Structures are given as C-alpha cells and as structure tokens.
Structure 1
Amino acid sequence: MTRDHYYNKAKQEGYRSRAAYKLKQLDQLENVIDRGDTVVDLGAAPGGWLEVAAEEVGPEGNVIGVDFQRIDDFADHDTVETLRGDMTEDKTRKRVVDAADGSVDAVISDMAPNMSGEYSLDQARSLHLARQAFETALELLDSGGDFVVKVFEGPDVDDFRADVEEEFQYVRATSPKASRDESSEVYFIGKGRLTAPVRPGDELEVEIESVGDEGDGIASVDGYRLFVSGAEEGDTVAVRVEDVKPNFGFAQRLDRD
C-alpha cells in the first residue's frame, strides 16, 4: 500500500488520521466551526475530526464524538467528550442529545459503512448512515447551525440533497482535495439550519403588527418575523413567502403580484 501525501502529513503533524485534512478543507470552504461552538461529531473514531474541531472551537468550546468503536482519550484536548454507541440505534442518539445539553452549533459526520466490496450495497448503507446523521442534526441543531455529512455517489443521493436543502439556507456539495482520487465520496455542507414555521412558496394570511426601519410591514408567524413590502400596521394581507432566513423571512403580497 502506498502512503499518500495526506497520510504522511497526518503522521508528521500528529493527527490521528488523514481525514483531519478533509474537515480542515471543508471548514475553510464554508466556515462550519467557530470559536466557542458546541460540535457533535458522528462516526468520530479514530478522532482526526475531533482534533480539528477541538482546535477550531478553542478552550471555550465543546466537542462531542460518538462511534461504536472505542475512541482513545485526548491528552491535549480537554474540551472533547466521547461516547461509544451505534448511531443507528435510538438509545445512542438519545445519549448524544443528553450530552449536548441543549445548544449545538454544528453536526459533522464522516460515517461510512463497513465495506462489503459490493458498491451498490455499500452505497445504500452509506446513504442510510447519512440520513441517520441528518435526522440527528435536525434534532440537535440550533437555528442557523451547520451540518456536514459524507455520502457515496449513487442512487437517491439527489433526493437526499433535496431533503437537506429543505432544512438549511443552502447546501453545497464538494469533494475535498484530501479525499482519495479513486473515492466516490461527496460531502454535503448545509449552512444555516432553518427552524422557521414557514418555507419559500407558502401562501398564508398575516396581520401586520408593526413597520420596520426600511418601511416594510412586520408580521409574526408563531413568533417568527416575516417582512412584507408595501403593507401598513393593522393590515391583514394574503402573502407568499419568498425567502427564509434562520430568524426572519420575506414575503410578497399576493394582491401585488
């Protein structure tokens, strides 16, 4: 077996796996992890992604790693907590939720199946693991939080991406340079977890409660602010939602289309 560039680099720089550079490159691309964040790493063994996440969050952050394989303790990262369990089991996911204790800023997953050598089977298992990670991310992430997940190219991946796009401001697909040339893995980066009660294209009737600094009317939908152009305080108007951000959205009056 040849030792490639990133394998050697990991040995020289003291990372547990070459995969550390994948997370570094993904984070440089989309700024997934910030100082002070709480990060949950799914399928974390042997710990390369945990090391990078711990460096990025700093001493005021918190990193939780879970894997069914044992993860050796970190002598130089006090912010890392590890859990042993199978992410396809509800009891393991509950332990992750409990360990996170509320606020989570990023969920990252480099989970891969035990390879059978039969690509169609391995790809289907990879997609199943990616969906497990996605469901965990939806359960854990704060509004505006980020998600990184690996999946093997193949059937139903486009459908999976569409599902992720429903829940985040935008989704980027990429293969970092640190992935092996022959690898079929792709990473989806979901930016800005949407917890809004509305989605683009929704049509609803709202009452304008106030007017913002820019002159737009402001309605409230289950506590979520919706800006409506050309509406005055006290108006009740039918609108179509055009754009959704984690904490506010924009809508157009249907009678002005």
Structure 2
Amino acid sequence: MSGRDEYYNKAKQQGYRSRSAYKLQQLDETADLFDDGDTVIDLGAAPGGWLQVAAERVGTGRVVGVDRQRIDSLDGVETVRGDLTDEDVQAYLAERVGEADVVLSDMAPNMTGEYDLDHARSVYLARQAFDVALDVLAPGGDFVAKVFDGRDLDALEADIDTEFEYVQTVRPDASRDESSELYLVGKGRMTAPVEPGDELVVAITETGDEGDGIATVEGYTLFVRDADEGEEVEVRIEDVKPRFGFADRLD
C-alpha cells in the first residue's frame, strides 16, 4: 500500500479532514509544539485537519484557523475567513486573539509543475506566515511553516533563526515520498531587549531561589550572579533565553 493510501485511509477511518493531520502529529512528536492551554493560530487552515489535531493537543486552550476558503465548523475551534495579508484579518488576530503560543502554516502554492517557481512561491507563503508570527507570538512561542526544498531555503531558515532560540528542519513520515516539502520549526520566540555581550547597569530588585540577584530590563528578567537585592551593578549579558537571561557583574 502506498504512503498516500495509508494516510488517506487512516484519516477517513479516524475522522480527520485531511491526511496532513498526521504530519502535524509527527511534527509535535518531534518538536514538542503543544501544551495544554496553549493558544494556536493555524494559517491556511482549510479543510481543518491541522485544526483538529491542534484542538486535541491543547485541551483547554484556544485554536483559531484562518483561510480564504470556508472552514466547516469544528467543536472548540474558531475560524476566520480571509486573507492573512489583509489588514482587517491581522487586526483581528492581534486584537481578538492576542498573543499566541504557536503559529502554524501548512500553506502551499498552486502547483505549476515548474520546480523553481513552485519553490519560490512556497517560500513567499512561508515568509507571509513568518511575518504574522512575529506580530502575534508570545515570548517563547513556536512557529511552523511548510516550504519546498530549494535555493531560497537557507536564507529563509537563517531569517527565522535570528528571531527564535533555534530553528530545525523536519520532514514528517506522513509526507509523500516523492514530495520535496519540509517544515521549518522556529522554537522559542526571542523578544529580549538585550544580547549576549551587552554591558549595562541594572538595579537588583529581588533575590532568586538559587541566590542570584534579579533585575529587569524593559520587563525582561535578568539573573545576575553574585548580586544582592538593593545593589546597582554593571553587568555583561552572558546568555539570553526567550523569557529570561543571565548576566555576570563587572564591578
């Protein structure tokens, strides 16, 4: 039995709207995308296979699907009919959904059969999804986008890498053997106002559980070794994570 038949028949038997549901299951198993209570935005979500998987895996969370096509209703899922490049759609996502923990895109271009053109169009769609993700992802959030392998892949991956703690390439088993599709997964949205090597003066306002001093820079938490509450110290940033960083005092 071909891979296509296996996953197509499995989707029919298990009630998924598309065979691609298994791709998202496998992406989650590889990249650990979902937690209970997460808010997930799925771009280009029709017919809804990924929405079904996301809703199963976030439990009490919130799942929102966006597509120009109509998406038949699903329990526990919100849908927005529109183009993700439309300002009204972007405003809805920003204002009504707020920050998301995961942004997904399984969008693919209409195929022309000309490989370089299809690749370029897939990169364009992935970049559109990437732009949305940068606007709505919470610190530490994850981003997933489908793209066809090709000459522009490295540049796209590098751009995603600059905005996340790291990026990985995943080829789910549920993808067809003959397909050049892959998924770029950006893990841990970085929004820190500091970078490793930065030197600055901070006020220590608390003491952490491990005895480090705690300072904040534009709402971002820094743990400072060998610093005590009430001190003002000069520090060098040593490591930056999505929600907190580490610094050593210089004085």
TM-score when scaled to structure 1?
Answer: 0.87
User: More deviation in 84-93 or 241-250?
Assistant: 84-93
1:179 Cα deviation after fit: 0.7
1:94 Cα deviation after fit: 2.3
> Counterpart of 1:9?
10
Which 5+ residue runs of structure 2 have no aligned equivalent? none
> Counterpart of 1:49?
50
1:185-215 per-position Cα deviation (integer Å, ceiling 9, x unaligned): 111222222222123x342212241554434
1:88-140 per-position Cα deviation (integer Å, ceiling 9, x unaligned): 3333322333441x232211110111111111111111111111111111111
> Counterpart of 2:118?
122
> Counterpart of 1:36?
37
- The answer to whether the 8 A contact 1:66-1:82 is kept is yes
- The answer to whether the 8 A contact 1:23-1:52 is kept is yes
> Counterpart of 2:62?
62
Residues in 2 aligned to 1:103 and 1:93: alpha-carbon distance in whole angstroms: 12
- The answer to whether the 8 A contact 1:66-1:96 is kept is no
> Counterpart of 1:85?
82
1:253 Cα deviation after fit: 4.8
- In the alignment of these two chains, the number of paired residues is 247
Residues in 2 aligned to 1:181 and 1:205: alpha-carbon distance in whole angstroms: 52
1:18 Cα deviation after fit: 0.5
> Counterpart of 1:136?
132
Which 5+ residue runs of structure 1 have no aligned equivalent? none
Residues in 2 aligned to 1:251 and 1:158: alpha-carbon distance in whole angstroms: 32
Distance 1:213 1:48, change over 3 A: closer
Residues 1:204 and 2:202 are matched in the alignment: no
TM-score when scaled to structure 2?
Answer: 0.89
- The answer to whether the 8 A contact 2:99-2:136 is kept is yes
1:235 Cα deviation after fit: 4.5
- The answer to whether the 8 A contact 1:42-1:107 is kept is yes
Residues in 1 aligned to 2:102 and 2:212: alpha-carbon distance in whole angstroms: 33
